[in-house]
Structure 1
Amino acid sequence: MISLSRILFTGLFALALIACSEQASVSDSSASMTQAANSASASVVSRWYSDEQQALGSEVFTQNCAVCHGAQAQGTVEDWRARLDDGSFPPPPLNGSAHAWHHPQEILLQVVNYGGESLGGKMPAFIDVLDDAEKLAAIAYFQSFWTDDIYQQWMQMGGTN
């Protein structure tokens, strides 16, 4: 038969484990939130583009894309999934909060080159407006707003392949 002291010891041990795991959980949660906040400002994951490409991309994006996609690629409408009155889709955010990160670089370049009309949007074609370096720089710029987690998922799904 199990003694009362053994049951008491087991119960206290279990409570101590629970208390320790709750403290670790709160601590881990705080660390995760801090890490997520910091990742937007300082990427620790190696990216395909250089600082120079990102800087050029900022200029290209500001001059050609920001009016529709927002200055920091955040979008300009509340719900980018809802069709506009004319039946077209509004420009989506490109900052990692929509679907741009679901597409490899090749597809992103196709959309920049040929526009979004065939996809139900109004984006004009930039094939004869921007050179290849400017197009890649614009992509680098909006990808600079992606968290490391989003960027890593993009790379795992084919990213630059």
Structure 2
Amino acid sequence: MKNTRFPLLLITPLMLVIAACSEQKTPAAADSKPKLSAALHPVPKMQVAPRWYDEAQVARGNKLFQANCAECHKPDASGAPDWKQTNAEGKLPPPPLNGTAHAWHHPMPLLQQIVRNGGIPMGGSMPAFKDKLTIDQINDILAWVQSHWPDQIYTTWMQINQKHMKSKS
């Protein structure tokens, strides 16, 4: 009899502690739900807009960009590092066209217009190319430029472009 009481004396207080802990909840703890890490609930991927151009346009655009635009906008389309500040002549330097500046804020007709008519009316020093490049060549250059834009930037641009085109209809 003595042997059976010893384990009961140890188990009984342990059971009381376990029971007390399971019933003791603070109001905040009772109402809160466990927080799961982002790894368990990944952010859904945004749907990427399909590109309007093909690889042949990008290849032609690369050659045209290198021949007509790279001198100012750099061969990799990175533009001038201080593109937001006017230079000594009071003109804006060539901006990056690789998705890190503002070109992606503009719908296609405005991008085409800037290449055709130049950037002088907008405070820059880019010459007009309307007498040098056809609209197809301008589109090839824009295809090459946009091929450097990350998917998120391109998808946002596509939404801007579609809204603009709908508003013109």
Q: 1:80–1:90: 8 Å Cα contact kept in structure 2?
A: yes
What pairs up with 1:81-100 in 2 under 5 angstroms?
Answer: 81-100=84-103
Q: 1:69–1:92: 8 Å Cα contact kept in structure 2?
A: yes
Larger Rg: 2
Tell me how far 1:8 sits from its aligned partner.
5.2
Tell me how far 1:79 sits from its aligned partner.
2.0
Tell me how far 1:142 sits from its aligned partner.
0.4
SS at match of 1:129: coil
Pairwise CA RMSD of aligned residues? 2.9
Q: 2:49–2:158: 8 Å Cα contact kept in structure 1?
A: no
**How many percent of aligned residue pairs carry the same amino acid?**
41
Q: 1:104–1:154: 8 Å Cα contact kept in structure 2?
A: yes
Note if 1:147 corresponds to 2:131. no
Residue 24 to residue 97, structure 1, CA distance change in 2 (3 Å) = same
Note if 1:21 corresponds to 2:21. no
Tell me how far 1:45 sits from its aligned partner.
4.0
Residue 56 to residue 22, structure 1, CA distance change in 2 (3 Å) = closer
Aligned length: 143
Instruction: Tell me the amino acid that sits aligned with residue 24 of structure 2.
Output: I
Q: Please give the TM-score of this superposition, normalised by the length of structure 1.
A: 0.76
Q: 1:72–1:142: 8 Å Cα contact kept in structure 2?
A: no
Note if 1:5 corresponds to 2:9. no
What pairs up with 1:1-161 in 2 under 5 angstroms?
Answer: 4-7=21-24, 11=29, 17-18=34-35, 20-21=36-37, 23-24=39-40, 28=42, 45-75=49-79, 77-158=80-161, 161=165
Q: 1:18-65: CA deviations, max 9, x gaps?
A: 3x426547xx49xx8xxxxxxxxxxx6411111111110000000000
Q: Please give the TM-score of this superposition, normalised by the length of structure 2.
A: 0.73
SS at match of 1:157: helix
Q: 1:43-100: CA deviations, max 9, x gaps?
A: x64111111111100000000001111112111x222101101110000001111110
Q: 1:73–1:93: 8 Å Cα contact kept in structure 2?
A: yes
Instruction: Tell me the amino acid that sits aligned with residue 21 of structure 1.
Output: S
**What residue number does 1:36 align with?**
none
Which protein, 1 or 2, shows the higher relative CO under an 8 Å CA cutoff with sep ≥ 6? 1
Task: Show structure 2 runs of 5+ residues with no match.
Answer: 1-19
